[in-house]
Amino acid sequence: MKKSIVKFFALSALVLFAACSSSQTKPLPKPFITGLYTADPSAHVFDGRLFIYPSHDRVSTAKPDNNGSQYDMVDYHVFSTDSIDTPVTDHGVALALADIPWASKQLWAPDAAFRNGMYYLYFPARDKENIFRIGVATSEKPEGPFTAEANPIAGSFSMDPCAFIDDDGSAYLYFGGLWGGQLEKWKTGTFEPSGREPGKLAPALGPRVARLSGDMLSFDSEALEVQILDEQGKPVLAGNNRVRFFEGAWVHKYRGTYYLSYSTGDTHLLVYATSDNPLGPFTYRGVILEPVVGWTTHHSIVEFKGQWYLFYHDAAESKVDHLRNVQVARLFYNRDGTIQPVIR
């Protein structure tokens, strides 16, 4: 009798575990956003609802090159949902290139933030001199429409802005990207058209970070380089292209630790580093996501309704590198704070 009872409870526990495991591994929508080609998803939770701020891919006749000429985007749409498992709402065009006085082309990866009762959309674009700058637009609603400031943020350059507001209210903007993003042309602090990446044995270039002013419209400090160290505590070298920063910086905080995640570019990895200071230095920790279909990927990490998620993009649907779709995967941390590699 006792053995039967033990078997009964053991079987019940096994069934319960299987049910929980099944719930945790329930497939997520693929792709997460349909109807438009979208990429570079910046995910945020505002008033309990999940908002996605991606770039908007379109068909281009430009020949692909290292400057990203084929990524010729001209507007932004904002998407939202109240559940990760239900279809998203497309709120339409939130900001168009034609409405940005200083910009000439290529509305690449944006980000968003909320403060002072206002929503802010940070975005890169090439100015009239073909130099990437970062602009900011505002709206009273998270879905927009957004109104762009007449000029880019003074002191800004390159691409891939990431806005981060710390627990103490301090706000930062991280940005930068190599090759098409022109970061290597700003090594001296002045734009040099012939600027190149450092040699393979020299320290790699890191993203930039600047404090944002109280009104979130300008820099309150000089843009500083974020240093990334290897696992031995030495600066990551430019030749270490499985670890070095390339583009797509994203900063989030988990249990008091700052996480800087980014794309390695030509090795097609998403990796991360950690620090106890939002300004760094950050120490490399490992890979979050292995290569996907497409040349590179760009991501964000957010907690929504008690679960952490990785948003990224790939070209699995179109098989065309510049026609991408936003994807989502659950993200898990180990007890020591390290991130478990995402299984797709």
Q: How far apart are CA 265 and CA 319, in angstroms?
A: 18
Give the three-state DSSP class for 170: coil
Which runs of consecutive H residues, i.e. helices, occur in 162-205? Answer: none
Annotation marks residue 247 as catalytic? yes
Q: What's at 232, amino acid-wise?
A: Q
Q: How far apart are CA 320 and CA 329, in angstroms?
A: 22
Annotation marks residue 230 as catalytic? no
CB 300 within 8 A of CB 311: yes
Q: How far apart are CA 116 and CA 129, in angstroms?
A: 33
Q: How far apart are CA 275 and CA 271, in angstroms?
A: 14
Give the three-state DSSP class for 231: coil
Given the residues 40, 72, 111, 160, select the one marked as catalytic: 40
- Cα distances from 9 to residues 1, 46, 91, 180, in angstroms, run 13, 43, 50, 60
Listed residue (213, 334, 225, 207) closest to 264, CA to CA = 207
DSSP 204-217: PP--EEEEBPTTSS
Q: How far apart are CA 122 and CA 22, in angstroms?
A: 39
DSSP 15-65: HHHHHHHHHHTPPPPSSSS-SS-EEEEEEEEETTEEEEEEEE-----SPP-
DSSP 113-124: EEETTEEEEEEE
CB 159 within 8 A of CB 132: yes
Given the residues 72, 197, 225, 247, select the one marked as catalytic: 247
Residues recognised as catalytic: 40, 247
